[in-house]
Amino acid sequence: MTSPREAGYRMPAEWAPHAATWVAWPSHPDLWKENLPAVRGAFTSLVQAIVAGEVAEVLVPDAENERLARAAFGAIASDRVRFHRVPFGDIWLRDTAPVYLASPSASSDRRLATVRFVFNGWGGKYVLDHDDRVAECVAAISGEPAFTRPFVLEGGAVEVDGEGTVLTTRQCLLNPNRNPTLSEAQIEEAVLDSLGGEKLLWVGDGLLNDHTDGHVDTIARFVQPGVVVAMEPRSADDPNREVLATLIRDLESLTDARGRRLEVVRVPSPGRVLDDAREIMPASYVNFYIANASVVVPTYGSPFDDEAVQRIAALFPGRTTRGVNAKAVLAGGGAFHCITQQKPQAGHAPQDGSQD
C-alpha cells in the first residue's frame, strides 16, 4: 500500500492555517470526579479561543452531553461550533484522533488526508472503551483519503516543523510497551514514512510522572522552522531539573532537515506542581495549543505562570495569547495540546514562521 510520504503528503506545522480543531467535551464523571466542573470551564475557555479564528469540531457521546456543552458554550455555540455524536473513552484527541496531512503543493487544489495508527492505551496503562475507534470515526466524518499504519503511535509523541523535521523522545517511541518487535531504525522509518518527514530528531526523557511515557509535546515544541521552545528550571526543587537541562543541551546540538542548527528559546518551568494527594504532576507550559487566532497556554498557579505566558506570547505576535488554568485538566494526564487535534486548511501551502 502507498504510504503518505510516497503519495506526497506531509504533516503541516501547527501554526499553518487551520480549517478546524477537533476536541471532545469532558463527559465522564467517573474519570474526572470532583475536577469535572473545573475541567469543563478550562475546556470552554479553550473553545472560545479556537472559534475566534476557526471551527471547533466537538465530539459528544450522547444527547445529554451535547445539551450540557451547548449550555456551557452559550453564545459561542454558533456556526463555528459543530457537534458530532461519537463515543470516546476520554478527551485526549491529540493521541486518539487521526493526524491530518496535506500535500505540499502551493496550488489552490492542495489536498488533505488523514493517517491513523494502532492505539493501545499509552502502552496498555489506560485502556478505555471506544478510544481505539475514535480515529476511524473522525476520519470518516472528515471525509478525506485515509491512511492506516500498522504500528503504535500517539500524536503527542511527535512534533513537526512542516518542512520535513520530526522531533520525538526515546523514552516514548522506543518504549517496549509500544512496538517491542521494531528496532529504532524501523520505528524511525515508519514515523517518517507516515508523516512525510525527512529527518527524525531524537531526545531523551520526558517529565516525571508523565502518563504518556515522555511525550515530546510536554517538553519541546517547534514555533517556527529551525526554532524550538523548551523549559528551563528556575527553582531548586524543580522535579525535572536534570531532565530539562539535558534536553536543552541536546536540542542545541541538533540540526533539522534543512541543515539548520536548532535555536532553542527558553521559558520557565512551572517547577514543583502537586496534586491533592501531594504527588508531583507533569506540569508543562509548552503544552500550549496554536489556533488560527489564538495561543492557549496552560497555567498551574505557579509563580512562573505570568512570565511563561508573556514569553510564549512574544513568539506569536500575530495571535492573541492567553493563559488558562489547566491544573484540573492535568489531573487527568495532560493539558491543552493533549486535548486538541488540528485540521489544516485546504488550498494553502505550508506556512513558514509563526505569524498569521
Active site residues: 338
Rounded to whole angstroms, how far apart are CA atoms 166 and 221?
10
CB atoms within 10 A of CB 277: 5
Residue 319 in grid coordinates? 495571535
DSSP 8-state code for residue 349: P
Please compute Rg for the chain using Cα positions. Answer: 19
Strands 146-152 and 112-118: parallel
Rounded to whole angstroms, how far apart are CA atoms 214 and 170?
8
CB atoms within 10 A of CB 5: 18
Name the one residue in this structure whose C-alpha cell is 465530539: 59
Number of continuous H segments (helices) and E segments (strands) in the chain: 11, 16
Rounded to whole angstroms, how far apart are CA atoms 122 and 132?
11
Rounded to whole angstroms, how far apart are CA atoms 36 and 329?
9
DSSP track, 281-326 = P---SS--EE-SSEEEEEE-S-TTHHHHHHHHHHT-TTSEEEEEE-
Backbone φ, ψ for residue 265 (5° rounding): -95, 130
